[in-house]
A and B are shown apart, each in its own frame.
Chain A
């Protein structure tokens, strides 16, 4: 039992004393728990929990396959390179034009001698009859590379900024921010009436009946009121209805209006909101080769017998807090693939050979195989247009601009040209960016061969590819959120405190990326949740597992020719045998060799005639009577494309040979 304490009242002590209060501290501790008044049952909805976890997660894991469509029509030389097993020296042997083959898009040769080159499977045995592509071959261009030096670097990037470019050269500093430049005026006739049509260097993104504002045009009639009125697009395309992406027609007499290339510009307008035009800049979220695994896809071979690659990003991509170039939460990422310019071991046989060939070039390039990567767009062919990726190397474009010195290790990359309209609150991609590169050897062939017996002009056609593939991770709603006018609320209730105004903004759920069309008046599109599909079908849905979003990417990667030559003409040269034997042998080795004819066969009678023809080239090369030379007419293909990019060794797949006499196999068999 606890101790009792007695307290005597003061009045019991003396008669004069009065009682006073005496206080005790008594602590009271409550150890009871609230007791529910009844049974509590609650259900946990697994789907709701899943949705909640999915909504909270900002982690993405990317995996998929990459179907590379690559080949080597742009090769250095039609030679076989090998290491002499006796001397250790790197040697080469010319492959005659008749021995050059195309196999699944690759240009090369079938080995005709043993032990000059190891078999691809590496068993140190004969490589007889095995196909070898000319350099650059499989080990520099394939997505899957077995030499230990990756040919491409994959990155995950996102748009985080934007920039302006001067798309067409001009003296007035007119750039993309001033609108899409015009480069050509045309006349389009319809039902006996002429309409004016204008061409833009890139896709204009217009549709019939779109309204556009015209800037810096010449109003020849004086009554077009171009500065006061927007004009409607009447139709798209030229007289034949072609090139609709870059030609638009307006209902204006061509005689009433004129333009100045690069200075005259247009801007699409929607409900009095003008579109803006810019280039997006992408930032990398991954850094190197250790961020992903790359391996052969099971049973993955494409139509061209190229191995399909599987990839799996080990690094998780967290998009929490990341904003795009418009300050919005990320709705798209990009799978960026950049060519690696160090795609083989420095001491490989091929590198040793080319470095030796390039030894007299400047120090900064002689030990490289690839040129630096440049970036640009597939634009119209006009010498005033900058960033024309297909024209890089064309002397006509010597003063033009491109994005230069791109490297796979870069953190930022230029991206697509985009139109953004503040009324629609949507970005529209107009042109995708391309990268271009060539080999140092081809690009500088003229310098390399200038002191040789057979100088060869440089071959400036390179490879181009699209580096960025869009990954849609979220989507904005098809519907614009009704305008929220907080200013009216502030005025009505006299809310002036910034804190209270901000509180109200939050209560109205105005997102921080909302567009403020006037003070405290907001418009925006809701960013749809994952798995949320709106009435127009917008929205995304993909697996959520282990706390992360799994996105399967099924991408193709095209390594294209910069300017495939779709046309050719035949050139002819007369030579004498035996005087020009060496020259004839060189001619036979050129990949563009077509055929030869003996012009003076009638000068050779009877058995003499048959002796110079019976064994073809061998008979000609055996002929030594310089007193009675054989006159040969040797013919070559000369392929040409749209741009002046030097000698082309291989025709584009678009070339039409129908003008030639083609021998039917039945005629010979």
Chain B
């Protein structure tokens, strides 16, 4: 027998719209805690978030190239300083000023004597140039990415045909650096750049930019001298605005590129830095026989 209540609805009582009977349905709701959800989902998700992403630290070799992205077997870096005599006279000029101050200075102008060169004295062989690579060309706002050191050398340019060191007033302050495979007998410091390939591969056009400056550390005098790939006409009036930026004289742009699977880099001088404009030292495609070269000049006294 049914235990529910029966209700009668008279037909005459029905209106135009439907007649319904409310039948309450009640549920007994027991709140449960979310511990399972928390343990299996929330905690796992939070753990995932807290674990560092894998960072790929792989670096590979980038080889130097000329303006046409052809790999160059060697290149030369020349340093040109203000001559001591001109500094004493109060009007500093670079070495070889009478001929446009192009090319390298000589070791006598930065305090070295013949014995230093002949005996490879510590103060000579521990002098070095440091190439510093930054993420942008604005000093104070840029981050140092890495640097590489190239020590002074008595190479072919610093020797007589008999293999003896040239006198310091004839010995150019230059280094040659070359491919260790193709030029095994030469010095290789600074020839390669080691950098992250994925940054280059993911850069626009697979070209990644950085900016280089050069400091010469003279172990003879203990001085670090900032150099620029562009001449400074008035060292007593160097403005920060002249040095910084894409068109400044201090930072030399370096482009790293994935050229169809071959990783290369090249120096890209701005208008002040190109040797073809007469003011700069970037000469990757020399018109006369000889290696690609970069010339840097002392900035201030």
Contact = CB atoms under 8 A, between A and B. Distances in A.
Contacts of B37: 34
Contacts, number: 82
B19 interface: yes
B97 interface: no
Contacts of B90: none
Contacts of A37: 33, 35
B38 A10 contact: no
Nearest to B71: A148
B25 interface: no
Contacts of B9: 18
A291 B24 CA distance: 76
A20 B185 contact: no
Given A34-B37, A49-B51, A21 B20 contact: yes
Interface of B is mostly: loop
Given A20-B15, A144-B181, A296-B181, A42 B47 contact: yes
Interface string A543-579: 0011110000000000000000000000000000000
Contact of A36 (B38, B58, B185): B38
A123 interface: yes
Interface string B5-20: 0000100111101111
A52 to B, nearest CB: 9
Contacts of A125: 161
Given A18-B19, A37-B33, A123 B43 contact: no
B57 A545 contact: yes
Given A122-B185, A290-B262, A36 B15 contact: no
Dominant SS among interface residues on chain A: loop
A295 B185 CA distance: 13
A302 interface: no
Contact of A20 (B18, B58, B61): B18
A146 B183 contact: yes
Interface residues on B, range: 35 or more
B184 A144 contact: yes
Interface residues of A, number: 39
Contacts of A122: 183, 185
A62 B182 CA distance: 23
Nearest to A307: B184
Contacts of B183: 122, 146
Contacts of B181: 144-146, 294-296
Nearest to A309: B181
Contacts of A10: 15
A312 B43 contact: no
Contacts of B35: 36-37
Nearest to B33: A37
Contacts of B54: 53, 546-547
Contacts of A144: 181, 184
Contact of A123 (B42, B60, B156): B156
Nearest to A123: B156
Contact of A34 (B38, B60, B180, B182): B38
A625 to B, nearest CB: 51
Nearest to A14: B15
Contact of B34 (A16, A36, A288, A314): A36
A121 interface: yes
A104 interface: no
Contact of B43 (A40, A288, A295, A546): A40
Contacts of B4: none
A44 B51 contact: yes
Contacts of A146: 181-184
A618 to B, nearest CB: 35
Contacts of A34: 34, 37-38
Interface string B76-90: 000000000000000
A640 B195 CA distance: 55
Given A20-B19, A122-B185, A314-B197, 9 more contacts: A36-B35, A40-B38, A122-B183, A147-B182, A148-B182, A288-B261, A293-B60, A296-B180, A296-B184
Interface of A: 10, 16-18, 20-21, 34, 36-37, 40, 42, 44, 49, 53, 61, 120-123, 125, 144-148, 288, 290-291, 293-296, 307, 312, 314, 545-548
Interface of B: 9, 12-15, 17-20, 22, 33-35, 37-38, 42-43, 46-47, 50-51, 54-58, 60-61, 156, 161, 180-185, 197, 260-263
Q: Which 8 A-B pairs have the closest CB atoms?
A: A34-B34, A290-B261, A547-B54, A121-B185, A546-B56, A21-B20, A546-B57, A18-B13
